[in-house]
A = this chain, B = another copy of it.
């Protein structure tokens, strides 16, 4: 998996990174569980959809933690650093208001 951005040596906060990695490892296990669930020929559509929704919610929690860290450590200091335009464009690509 190649990085698509490499500006300014901005790295994800180590504590957030560790927590995200552990959560993602758990999500991988959850997805593995759905793969096995789909091997059974009597699996019910709605049960699959519920599991997908649960994975989605777990991914959103990881995303929120990474986003909050990015805002705190990199976005709020972008003007000082001088890369505000790039930072804003990147954010608008991956976020939406709600």
- Report Cα–Cα, A31/B12, bound state, in Å: 18
B39 touches A21 (CB 8 A): yes
Binding site for B on A (CB under 8 A): 1, 3-7, 9-12, 14, 17-18, 20-21, 24-25, 27-28, 31-39, 41-53, 55-56, 59-60, 62-64, 66-80, 84-85, 87-88, 90-98
Name A20's closest neighbour in chain B (CB-CB): B38
Name A3's closest neighbour in chain B (CB-CB): B47
**How far in angstroms is the closest Cβ of chain B from A44?**
6
**How far in angstroms is the closest Cβ of chain B from A1?**
4
- Report Cα–Cα, A49/B48, bound state, in Å: 25
Whether A69 contacts B45 in the complex (CB less than 8 A), given A20-B38, A28-B35, comes out as: yes
